[in-house]
Amino acid sequence: MGAMGGVDQMAQAGFMMTVAATPLIPVGWACAGSMLPMIGDPDALLEAGMAWLDAAQEIQDGLTANMDLTNSLGSSWQGADYDAFTEKAADLSRQLMVTMALAYAVGVALILAAIAVMIACIIVFVIGLGFALWSAAILFAMATVVGNLGPVEVLMFDANIWALQAESSLMSVNSGLSTTFNVLAGTVTAALAADVGLQIAFGNEEALGDLAQATVLSVPTITAGLASVFFRDSVALGMKPPFSSGIVRGLGVLMGTGVVDPVGDVTEQADPTRG
């Protein structure tokens, strides 16, 4: 179990409780469709974020070593060669500072994303638990009421009204997640642009070439990630009435419980939020 306490498994359990309640609470399918994009693996995001912070710390250690070396040579080395050396060392220090700041920005962004996914998973579990309690109450009423099913029908009506409210809350959470991820992605993009710009300003003429090469190499990963999100969201939408079908619902259930994911193996590197 990771640092986030297995909340992805809690979310899967909440999703399954919701699906299991749909024969009694049909609106549950709409909730299940909204839950599917919220189920992810915050531990994977947290691990990636910590790796970036570790990289930033290593860069900081290199920066400190470079400055210590430059200062130590000042007592025994003077002249034009030393001045040229210190100028190069200063340029290197500035570049390391910018790269270190970028690494910290990416690491913090990923950790914040992990926290957001963790909160979403907890919400899915809590709502799923609510579906389980409503279902238990309805089944208990069915078992104890003889002849007059009026109380059962009232419970089922109230449960579906509650499910509509829950689905509205899930849609709000989904919207908040999308906004959060977009802001974090924008922050990382801005940090990267600043890094490249400052590297060029400090005289690193290969910065643009490195960026272009990295962009070309990342195209398959980015494409796979976008395909992953599109497929997941399409299945989630297809689970909701009136667009739902048995096949799409079954596929969504398998994806939500982690039993099978047709695109997960291909896009895991591009989309670490998938559980």
In 3D space, the residue among 13, 238, 249 whose CA is nearest the CA of residue 121 turns out to be: 13
Lowest mean pLDDT of 48-62, 77-91, 173-187, 254-268, name the range.
254-268
| pLDDT band with cut points at 50, 70 and 90 for residue 111 | very high
In a domain, 201, yes or no: yes
Residue 130's pLDDT band, with cuts at 50, 70 and 90, is very high
What would you report as the CA-atom Rg of the chain, rounded to the nearest whole angstrom? 26
Instruction: Report if residue 206 sits inside a domain.
Output: yes
| Residue type at position 155 | L
Nearest partner of 36 among 237, 262, 241, judged by Cα: 237
Token pair for 254? 């398998």
Identify the weakest region by mean pLDDT among 56-60, 143-147, 258-262.
258-262
DSSP code at position 270: T
* pLDDT surpasses 70 at 271: no
Note whether residue 78 is domain-resident: no
**Within a 10 A sphere around the Cβ of 230, how many other Cβ atoms?**
11
User: pTM here?
Assistant: 0.80
Q: Is the pLDDT of residue 267 over 70?
A: no
Question: What pLDDT is recorded for position 275?
Answer: 47
Label residue 75 by pLDDT band (50, 70, 90).
low
For residue 4, the model assigns a pLDDT of 61
Question: What number is the average pLDDT over the span 135-161?
Answer: 85
Whether 25 contacts 63, CB under 8 Å: no
Residue 120: per-residue pLDDT: 93
Annotate 253-272 with b (16+ C-beta within 10 A) or e (fewer).
bebbbbeebebbeebbebbb
The answer to whether residue 98 sits within a structural domain is: no
Answer whether residue 205 shows pLDDT above 90. no
Structure tokens at 7: 């909340």
Structural domains in the chain (count):
1
Residue 132 — pLDDT band, cuts 50, 70, 90?
very high
DSSP 40: -
Residue 5: predicted pLDDT: 65
| Rounded alpha-carbon distances, angstroms, from residue 200 to 92, 94, 134, 211, 222 | 12, 11, 61, 11, 25
Contact predicate 29/261, CB 8 Å: no
Exposure b/e, 34-55, CB count within 10 A at least 16 = b: bbbbbbbbbbbbbbbbeebbeb
Residue 235 within a domain: yes
Q: Each residue of 211-247: pLDDT tens digit?
A: 788 778 777 777 777 787 888 888 888 888 876 777 7
Distance CA 157, CA 210 (A): 61
Does residue 256 lie in a domain region? yes
Q: What is the phi/psi pair of residue 87, to 5°?
A: -65, -45
The residue ranking higher by pLDDT, 217 or 160, is 160
Position 122 pLDDT exceeds 70: yes
Per-residue model confidence (pLDDT) at position 211: 76
Q: Is residue 209 part of a domain?
A: yes
Mean pLDDT of the chain: 83
Range of the domain at 226: 7-41+113-267
Please state, in angstroms and as integers, the Cα–Cα distance from residue 93 to each residue in 64, 75, 190, 205, 207, following that order: 9, 20, 21, 16, 16
CA dist., res. 189 & res. 215, Å (int): 12
pLDDT at 248: 79
In a domain, 145, yes or no: yes
pLDDT at 3: 63
Looking at residue 118, its pLDDT comes to 93
